Amino acid sequence: MNQFSLFADPAPSKAHAPHVLYFDLETLRSADEVGGWGNVKGMGMACGVCYSTKSKEYHVFREDEVIDLVNLLKSADLVVGFNHIRFDYEVLRGYSSFNFNLLPSFDMLVDLKERLGHRV
């Protein structure tokens, strides 16, 4: 996993501005409805939202558009979210065989846990 750090020195600048996606999704079903937290893939995506620094627009996806969301995530130089590596990507694995570990990601929850020494 390419986890970036909130407190690390910035990477050398590129000739172009990086395409950053700020990403979150909401599920159709709760953990109780799918038999517990071990079945996150079964929760289903109700909607997914990304803000793109490239287009300067919000992109909203319904469940029937999940492959379009995955393709947008693949186009990013960096995907930013909160618990998206462990949770949101796992929900998307219910729809796609893509290896989400290949996406350059900054998960705020992961970084905060590393800094604070405990999960928030």
pTM for the model stands at 0.83
86-106: per-residue pLDDT in tens? 999 999 999 999 999 999 999
Q: Residues 6 or more apart from 53 whose CB is under 8 A from it?
A: 17, 18, 19, 20, 21
Q: Would you place residue 9 in the very low, low, confident or very high pLDDT band (cuts 50, 70, 90)?
A: low
Whether residue 14 has pLDDT greater than 60: no
- How is residue 3 written in tokens? 């986890």
For the chain, give every domain's residue range. 18-116
pLDDT at 15: 66
Q: Are 25 and 47 in contact (CB under 8 A)?
A: yes
17-26: per-residue pLDDT in tens? 899 999 999 9
CATH topology of domain 18-116: Nucleotidyltransferase; domain 5 (3.30.420)
